[in-house]
Structure 1
Amino acid sequence: MSEVVLTEDRGPTRIITLNRPERRNAIDIPLRIALAERLETAMADPDVRVIVLTGAGKGFCAGGDISTMERMPESVSRPRAQAAQRVIRAIWSGPKPVLAAVEGAAFGAGVALAIACDRLITAENAIFSTAFTGVGLAGDMGIFASLPARVGPARARQLMLLPQRLNGREAFDLGLADVVVPPGTTLDSALDDADRIATGAPLALRELKASLARWPSDPMTMLDHEVDAQVRLFDTEDFAEGVAAFHERRTPKFHGR
């Protein structure tokens, strides 16, 4: 049986691919467990600077695999839901940026997974839809945090109450996606972006992600957090290298120390 999640390294970038193309990469239990494990492994690998998440075949992710769903008691549904949230926790709490390259369909949990990433590159003809209420669910995988953060709470409310299909261009116009590119080019575009991000200081990127993960929070508390992060970074080799490279008018070489 083929692996449900594939990984490939391109220099400092790790590509993680949902690999159930026959099911449009719908998320069943084995896939959500494998995806969380691959993300956690990549986050812990010192040779990986950036992660790109994509889907095999013609689509990104059709959402939860409805063929595996039925009415179930809490003793069964809670571990299932927690396994899905483990994926998002890995993306949000991990120190490395995660980019989503979306071709084809991103429905339900597929939308939630894509917008949970730090950058979302979409094909013009991709299709996005929240599509949770159609099967009697409200939504998960962080969508009630990530969707309002991207499009605003009022627009998020309407997208959840009245699910509609948005193409890549419409998703970009709403702020759901960060970049829109021609069909078939999302992975190449994401890899180009990853190469640019990978030149940044890893420790600074880690602190950047940790700080943004605190939004929205009390602004005064955020000021204290920013001071703590800056203090940690001032006492790193990467900071010294960045200053030296600036004075020497050369490109810095960061090593995450």
Structure 2
Amino acid sequence: MATDEIPDETDHTGTDRVELTRDPESRIARVTLTDPDRRNALSTELASGVVAALDRLEGTDTRCVVVAGEESAFSAGGDVEAMVERADADEPLDDAVRHVIQDTGRCVRRLYESEFPTVAKVTGPAFGAGANLAIAADVLLFHADARIGFGFRNVGLAVDSGTSFLLPRLVGDNVAAELVYTGELLDADRALELGIANHVFDAETFEREAEALIEEIASGPSVALRTSKRLLRADSPSLGQAIRNEASAQAAVFDTQDHAEGVSAFVEKREPEFEGR
């Protein structure tokens, strides 16, 4: 897909519950969950909208993707109203399982597997599958009032949408087990302490501090950062294999304009100006 096909203005990706915007200068893309009346719950429509937005960006020169929830919530998680409707309609169990895999699970996986550096701006509650969507991002920035929890047990369910993979990678097996078994709702400081949040910013500075970090990521050498992301996410069985994977990947990055600019800037003792090429 050509770069100029990506929207530089608001684009609703087939639903009014997800908004995709992209700044042509910074090349920062923003995926915003826009169903605040339901606290941005991951309904079939919203989850599909997130996938569509990320698909629109694939293969472009986007430098960073930011995911956020509109108004006071990041995402309340699974669509409880839809769960009630399915139960009342005596929906077949296969349909419920299909929803987890094709809707919420696919949405979380699509963000996790995005080729670009990704940032979640968590300004309010992120629960259940919504918490998984947040931790599927590479970097999590928390508003001081944000909360996150994996309380599937509170609605009588086992974990889903990637919890069993994503959460232990962040906090370790034993802490993940406790969070799942108790359904503990973490405030921002506790999330920072456990390594879920990268930063916590207070109400007065959140937007300024978050945007400064997002711009710093976006101004980096994009090809190198995307390559580094692939290496960080790779399941290397040993240090030796990791080094070999890195060496192979580095060969392609050596030929980029940004590498040449980085070397020149180092020699000339100035800040590099990376173009993302």
The TM-score, its normalising length taken from structure 2, stands at 0.85
| Aligned-residue offset at 1:185 | 4.8
Q: Tell me whether 36-45 or 26-35 shows the greater mean CA deviation.
A: 36-45
Over aligned residues, Cα RMSD in angstroms?
Answer: 2.1
| Structure 1 residue ranges without an equivalent (≥5) | none
* 2:252 aligned with 1:232: yes
Work out the CA distance in 1 between the residues paired with 2:21 and 2:79: 25
Q: Percent identity?
A: 34
- 1:101–1:186 Cα contact (<8 Å) kept: no
What does 1:154-169 correspond to in 2, within 5 Å? 154-169=174-189
* Larger deviation, residues 154-163 vs 72-81: 72-81
Please say which of residues 123-132 and 214-223 is displaced more in the overlay. Answer: 214-223
User: Which residues of 2 match residues 103-252 of structure 1 at below 5 A?
Assistant: 103-183=123-203, 185-215=205-235, 217-252=237-272
Is 2:33 the counterpart of 1:18?
yes
Q: Which piece of structure 1 moves more, 204-213 or 90-99?
A: 90-99
* Residue aligned with 1:3, SS: coil
Is the 1:5–1:16 contact (alpha carbons within 8 Å) kept by the matching residues of 2? yes
Aligned to 2:54: 39
* 1:9 positional shift: 3.0
How many equivalent pairs are there? Answer: 256
Specify the alignment match of 1:63 in structure 2. Answer: 77
Give the Cα–Cα distance (whole angstroms) in 2 for the partners of residues 19 and 97 of structure 1.
Answer: 22
- The SS at the match of 2:142 is strand
Aligned-pair CA distance for 1:187: 4.1
Task: Give the conservation status (yes or no) of the 8 Å contact 2:143–2:202.
Answer: yes
CA distance in 1, matches of 2:38, 2:139: 25
Q: Match for 1:34: what amino acid?
A: G
TM superposition outliers: structure 1 runs of 4+ over 6 Å: none
Q: Is the 8 A contact 2:78 2:104 kept in 1?
A: no
In structure 2, relative to structure 1, the CA distance for the partners of 1:14 and 1:102 (3 Å cut) is same
1:3 counterpart = 2:23: no
- Aligned residue for 2:5? none
Secondary structure in structure 2 of the residue aligned to 1:117: coil
1:180 partner SS: strand
**Greater mean alpha carbon deviation, residues 172-181 or residues 135-144:** 135-144
Gaps of at least 5 residues in structure 2 are 1-13
TM-score (norm. length: structure 1): 0.91
* Larger RCO, structures 1/2 (Cα 8 Å, 6+ apart): 1
My pick for the range that moved more, 10-19 or 178-187, is 178-187
Q: Secondary structure at the match of 2:119?
A: strand
